[in-house]
């Protein structure tokens, strides 16, 4: 036993390069996993601290009670008269009124509104005292009309100078304000990219269109009063549609909210990490197999000297255990670095995160070990088994080759795996998976099984494929045709090696191809749907944010250039206990602006506060038809009985539930518009319409005024950006697979040292040697890339079928883009082989020939 360990260590030490190459892909996989944990744990801790910090002195908060938010991510406002009541409650030490607005945008000195990369632009009312999360770092607090303060990060970045005048865009338009102070949120002003301006409460209410309204009241208890007692007193003092919660609860709630978002972010990172790990499993398994082939003599010698085949298997597994352990430890360190790298990356794209605390949870270490050791051991199981089959006589008699595999058994296993994979995916997509976790699990498992099955099948056709794909190389000009020929036959030389080297690229590219197919189908479906559904010519909306002034729609309507105008608001209601999205619009013009396809009833007759319009799907869900009553629960007004005024077909852009604007006003506390849809009057051309809108555009620079085509383009652009982000992360898998290609080629060069030396001796130039190796890698990569695109097309097709018709109604295959991916992957594979190619070309000819 001790001897065996010694032997294993010796063997690893003797082959440092091979050891490094083997370990590297595992290290990368482990690093990605570790970094996703380290980053999320660190962020979570930091955000927890920020939230605790900001609410440290708050003992209780009073706010509108509701089990759900009527508009996502906002508190329902309530009347400010309540402040007096709360402040007067016995035991209240300090009470401050709070209002949060997301409708106000400061304009920089250069005339452009401040911008973020997705983070909100928020405004608070300034409050001094211990309850405030804001502290003043420069200047004065806003203390009257026309004064505001801004957070220090934004001030630094956008050059806001105390004492200067800046425009503020608000619900009612643009106004000039004086910057009187610079604030800091918590200790670090770590706002994750958000912009924070502050005003006096009165100014904020005016700017936000919320005269007389508050979002919350924060309270601290007098020193001699128990906070729980105070909470009871508060609850007793306020109306039933408000609630008082403790400071601890408040902190917990906020932490949970952040935790959820960070958790999603972490899970996405983790998903990509798992893809990377999966790819590296293939690579390391391939590496072990190649190394094994090269060590036949050594193994046979051990056998001849009396080692049992069990001992050989043990040795091989022990070696991979050590590789796995080392990879885990290195990967742990690498993951920490990567986490900080990711943070810096996000910082550089404007999403400034607080400095994260370094937390290496036991869970992280366990994950690193499980992934590192698990992956290596798993990958070495079959090579270890095969190693044990080397007969002792192979030590003397060269030329022992491992059987090319249990052909039929392999095929049967592959078939079983692919069937299981398809069943798993099918179950997730079309059947049982009723929650996201299960859906993801079944899809992931299915995809893994399919990938394994494909990689098991592919040796069956990798040799003919490589020959076929490499055929053009035969026609390269001059002396390149023989190097092309060599590259082609080398690529076709070992079917298993070619197949498993290509597998990594296959996996990465299939995921990219799938994402691209789905995104393209989505875009095409969207464009087509938009063309056939949206009848309005102009849309006014905001890129992010909870809505804008409801005055704007009237101002557009007043323009003679526009015939039909309606605002749309999006909120949340509850029907049969489930939260549902609801849209409010002027139902009398609904069909003029949006062809929802009325199936029954009459939207025009459904104006007023008593009606709701449903899609056929929703009507079926609730078992109602036109004229029936439906109980709908609003956050502000509770349960109301509405009449089904119409049933329509198409939920595109509008959703399954529509109420009239008057119904919104009656049942919602908030009153912001989210979209304005407008149709030009007959005879008004685009130029005239745009000219008419221009002054409004000037007043509301935070809003997007766009034609139907521009809107379509913007949405498609957003989808494209999302696709780019996804593909960049999937690119990690591609990078690992490229490492795998470099790895295989390096080992192949090692294996073919003699013949390379021979060819160099009889006149192969260094350049020819390099291109021979690179072209071989190119052929293997092309094979992997094509296979990947093929699998990706199938995945994409299945996904398109599984996604509801209303979102994707067609399969679009972006042939050109996919072809570009294949070309890029092939060239990348070609370049990945540069290092081994250079090694091959620099071989000392005589030493190479003399090898063995």
Partner 1 sequence: MNKPSMRKVGMVTTETSEPSALATAAPDIQIMAATAVGLRKIYGEGETEVRALDGVDVGFEAGKLTAIMGPSGSGKSTLLHCMAGLDDITDGSVRAGDTLISDMSDQDLTLLRRETMGFIFQAFNLVPTLTAEENILLPLLLGGNRPDEEWENTVVQSLGLGERLHHRPDELSGGQQQRVAVARALVTQPNVIFADEPTGNLDSKSGNEVLGFLRRAVDDWQQTVVMVTHDPLAASYADLVIFLRDGQVVGELRDPTADQVHDRIRALEA
Chain residues binding partner 1 by CB under 8 A are: 477-483, 485-486, 489-490, 493, 754-755, 758-768, 845-846, 849
Cβ atoms of residues 208 and 144 within 8 Å: no
Least gap, CB of 485 to partner 1 (angstroms): 8
Question: Which of 555, 766 has the CB closer to partner 1?
Answer: 766
Collapsing DSSP to helix, strand or coil, 389 comes out as coil
Least gap, CB of 778 to partner 1 (angstroms): 17
User: Please, what's the b/e burial string for 681-701 (b: 16 or more CB within 10 A of its CB; e: otherwise)?
Assistant: eeebeeeebeebbeebeeebb
Least gap, CB of 440 to partner 1 (angstroms): 45
* Cα–Cα dist 284/22, whole Å: 6
Q: Which residues pair with 579 in a beta bridge?
A: 574
Question: Which of 101, 768 has the CB closer to partner 1?
Answer: 768
Least gap, CB of 467 to partner 1 (angstroms): 12
H/E element holding 533? helix 495-533
Collapsing DSSP to helix, strand or coil, 79 comes out as strand
- Provide DSSP, 598-631: EEEE-GGGG-STTEEEEEHHHHHHHT--TT-EEE
Question: Which of 137, 476 has the CB closer to partner 1?
Answer: 476
Question: Which of 347, 847 has the CB closer to partner 1?
Answer: 847
Least gap, CB of 6 to partner 1 (angstroms): 29
Question: Which of 532, 765 has the CB closer to partner 1?
Answer: 765
* Cα–Cα dist 521/40, whole Å: 33
Residue 335, token pair as written in the block: 């993951």
Closest to 168 measured CA to CA, from 157, 158, 178: 178
Cβ atoms of residues 33 and 277 within 8 Å: yes
CB atoms within 10 A of CB 588: 16
Closest to 560 measured CA to CA, from 697, 684, 704: 684
Closest to 500 measured CA to CA, from 418, 404, 421: 404
Closest to 281 measured CA to CA, from 521, 451, 441: 451
H-helix segments, 173-226: 201-207
Least gap, CB of 805 to partner 1 (angstroms): 53
Least gap, CB of 474 to partner 1 (angstroms): 11
Q: How far from 22 is each of 15, 17, 474, 497, 507, CA to CA, in Å?
A: 11, 8, 33, 15, 19
Question: Which of 401, 639 has the CB closer to partner 1?
Answer: 401
Least gap, CB of 501 to partner 1 (angstroms): 17
Calculate ∠ Cα 775-777-783, nearest 5°. Answer: 105
Question: Which of 289, 483 has the CB closer to partner 1?
Answer: 483
Question: Which of 463, 521 has the CB closer to partner 1?
Answer: 463
Question: Which of 763, 816 has the CB closer to partner 1?
Answer: 763
- Provide DSSP, 6-30: HHHHHHHHHTHHHHHHHHHHHHHHH
Question: Which of 485, 714 has the CB closer to partner 1?
Answer: 485
* Cα–Cα dist 701/107, whole Å: 9
Q: How far from 224 is each of 91, 205, 322, CA to CA, in Å?
A: 8, 34, 63
Question: Which of 478, 623 has the CB closer to partner 1?
Answer: 478
Instruction: Considering only CA atoms, give the Rg of the chain.
Output: 33
Least gap, CB of 766 to partner 1 (angstroms): 6
Most distant CA pair in the chain: distance in Å?
101
Cβ atoms of residues 588 and 607 within 8 Å: yes
Least gap, CB of 481 to partner 1 (angstroms): 7
Least gap, CB of 839 to partner 1 (angstroms): 15
Question: Which of 659, 759 has the CB closer to partner 1?
Answer: 759
Question: Which of 489, 707 has the CB closer to partner 1?
Answer: 489
* Cα–Cα dist 192/43, whole Å: 10
Cβ atoms of residues 678 and 672 within 8 Å: no
Least gap, CB of 484 to partner 1 (angstroms): 10
Least gap, CB of 794 to partner 1 (angstroms): 34
**Cα 67 versus chain centre, distance:** 29
Least gap, CB of 475 to partner 1 (angstroms): 13
Question: Which of 96, 764 has the CB closer to partner 1?
Answer: 764
In eight-state DSSP terms, residue 355 is P
Least gap, CB of 824 to partner 1 (angstroms): 29
Question: Which of 13, 762 has the CB closer to partner 1?
Answer: 762
Question: Which of 489, 806 has the CB closer to partner 1?
Answer: 489
Least gap, CB of 851 to partner 1 (angstroms): 9
Cβ atoms of residues 602 and 587 within 8 Å: no
State phi, psi for 851 to the nearest 5 degrees: -50, 130
Closest to 580 measured CA to CA, from 519, 642, 626: 642
* Cα–Cα dist 339/366, whole Å: 17
Cβ atoms of residues 259 and 41 within 8 Å: no
Question: Which of 268, 482 has the CB closer to partner 1?
Answer: 482
State phi, psi for 838 to the nearest 5 degrees: -65, -40
Question: Which of 66, 501 has the CB closer to partner 1?
Answer: 501
Least gap, CB of 774 to partner 1 (angstroms): 17
* Cα–Cα dist 650/243, whole Å: 39
Cβ atoms of residues 424 and 449 within 8 Å: yes
Cβ atoms of residues 748 and 290 within 8 Å: yes
Cβ atoms of residues 594 and 529 within 8 Å: no
Least gap, CB of 308 to partner 1 (angstroms): 32
State phi, psi for 478 to the nearest 5 degrees: 55, -135
Q: Which residues pair with 598 in a beta bridge?
A: 648
């Amino acid at each position: 036993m001790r001897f065996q360990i010694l032997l294993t260590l010796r063997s690893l030490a003797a082959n440092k390069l091979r050891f490094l190459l083997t370990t590297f892909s595992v290290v990368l996989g482990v690093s990605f996993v570790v970094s996703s944990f380290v980053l999320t744990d660190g962020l979570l801790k930091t955000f927890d601290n920020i939230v605790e910090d900001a609410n440290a002195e708050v003992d209780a908060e009073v706010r509108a009670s509701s089990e759900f938010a009527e508009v996502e991510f906002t508190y329902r406002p309530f009347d400010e008269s309540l402040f007096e009541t709360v402040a007067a409650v016995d035991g209240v030490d300090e009470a401050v009124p709070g209002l949060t607005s997301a409708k106000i945008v400061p304009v920089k000195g250069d005339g452009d509104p401040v911008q973020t990369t997705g983070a909100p632009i928020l405004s608070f009312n300034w409050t001094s005292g211990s309850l405030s999360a804001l502290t003043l770092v420069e200047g004065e607090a806003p203390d009257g009309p026309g004064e505001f303060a801004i957070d220090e990060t934004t001030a630094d970045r956008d050059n806001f100078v105390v004492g200067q005048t800046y425009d503020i865009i608000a619900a009612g338009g643009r106004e000039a304000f004086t910057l009187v102070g610079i604030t800091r949120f918590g200790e670090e002003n770590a706002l994750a990219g958000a912009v924070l301006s502050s005003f006096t409460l009165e100014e904020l209410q005016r700017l936000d269109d919320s005269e007389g309204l508050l979002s919350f009241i924060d309270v601290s208890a007098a020193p001699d009063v128990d906070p729980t007692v105070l909470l009871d007193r508060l609850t007793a003092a306020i109306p039933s549609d408000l609630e008082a919660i403790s400071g601890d609860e408040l902190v917990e709630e906020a932490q949970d909210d952040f935790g959820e978002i960070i958790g999603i972010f972490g899970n996405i990172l983790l998903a990509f990490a798992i893809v990377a790990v999966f790819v590296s499993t293939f690579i390391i398994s391939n590496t072990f197999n190649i190394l094994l082939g090269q060590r036949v003599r050594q193994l046979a010698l051990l056998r001849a000297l009396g080692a049992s085949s069990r001992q050989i298997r043990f040795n091989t597994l022990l070696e991979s255990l050590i590789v796995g352990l080392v990879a885990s430890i290195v990967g742990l360190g690498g993951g920490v670095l990567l986490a900080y790298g990711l943070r810096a990356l996000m910082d550089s794209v404007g999403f400034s995160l607080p400095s994260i605390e370094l937390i290496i949870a036991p869970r992280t270490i366990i994950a690193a070990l499980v992934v590192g050791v698990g992956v290596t051991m798993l990958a070495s199981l079959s090579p270890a088994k095969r190693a044990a089959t080397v007969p002792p006589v192979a030590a003397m008699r060269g030329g022992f080759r491992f059987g090319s595999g249990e052909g039929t058994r392999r095929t049967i296993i592959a078939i079983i795996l692919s069937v299981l994979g398809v069943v798993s995916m099918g179950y997730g997509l079309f059947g049982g998976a009723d929650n996201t976790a299960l859906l993801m699990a079944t899809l992931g498992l299915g995809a893994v099984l399919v990938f394994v099955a494909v990689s098991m099948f592919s040796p069956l056709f990798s040799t003919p494929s490589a020959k076929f794909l490499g055929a053009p190389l035969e026609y390269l000009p001059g002396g390149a045709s023989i190097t092309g020929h060599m590259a082609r036959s080398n690529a076709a030389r070992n079917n298993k090696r070619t197949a498993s080297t290509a597998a990594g690229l296959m996996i990465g590219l299939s995921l990219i191809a799938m994402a691209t197919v789905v995104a393209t189908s989505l875009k095409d479906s969207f464009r087509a749907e938009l063309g056939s559904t949206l009848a309005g010519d102009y849309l006014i909306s905001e890129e992010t944010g909870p809505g804008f002034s409801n005055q704007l729609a009237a101002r557009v309507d007043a323009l003679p250039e526009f015939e039909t105008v309606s605002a749309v608001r999006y909120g949340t209601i509850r029907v049969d206990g489930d939260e549902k999205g609801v849209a409010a619009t002027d139902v009398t013009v609904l069909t003029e602006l949006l062809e929802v396809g009325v199936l029954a009833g009459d939207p025009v007759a459904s104006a007023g506060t008593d009606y709701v319009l449903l899609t056929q799907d929703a009507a079926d869900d609730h078992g109602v038809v036109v004229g029936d009553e439906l109980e709908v629960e609003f956050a502000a007004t509770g349960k109301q009985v509405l009449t089904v005024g119409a049933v329509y077909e198409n939920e595109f852009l509008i959703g399954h539930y529509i109420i009239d604007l008057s119904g919104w006003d009656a049942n919602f506390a908030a009153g912001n518009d989210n979209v304005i849809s407008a149709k030009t009057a007959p005879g008004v051309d685009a130029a005239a319409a745009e000219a008419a809108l221009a002054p409004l555009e000037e007043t509301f620079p935070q809003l997007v005024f766009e034609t139907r085509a521009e809107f379509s383009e913007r949405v498609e652009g957003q989808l494209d950006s999302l696709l780019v982000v996804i593909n960049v992360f999937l690119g990690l898998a591609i990078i690992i697979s490229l490492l795998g290609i470099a790895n295989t080629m390096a080992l192949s060069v090692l294996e073919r040292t003699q013949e390379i030396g021979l060819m160099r001796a009889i006149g192969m130039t260094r350049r020819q040697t390099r291109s021979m190796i690179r072209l071989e890698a190119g052929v293997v990569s092309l094979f992997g890339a094509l296979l990947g695109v093929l699998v990706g097309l199938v995945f994409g097709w299945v996904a398109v079928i599984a996604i509801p018709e209303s979102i994707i109604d067609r399969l679009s295959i972006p042939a050109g883009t996919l072809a570009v991916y294949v070309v890029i992957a092939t060239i990348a594979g070609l370049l990945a082989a540069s290092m081994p190619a250079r090694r091959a070309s620099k071989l000392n000819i005589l030493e190479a020939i003399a090898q063995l």
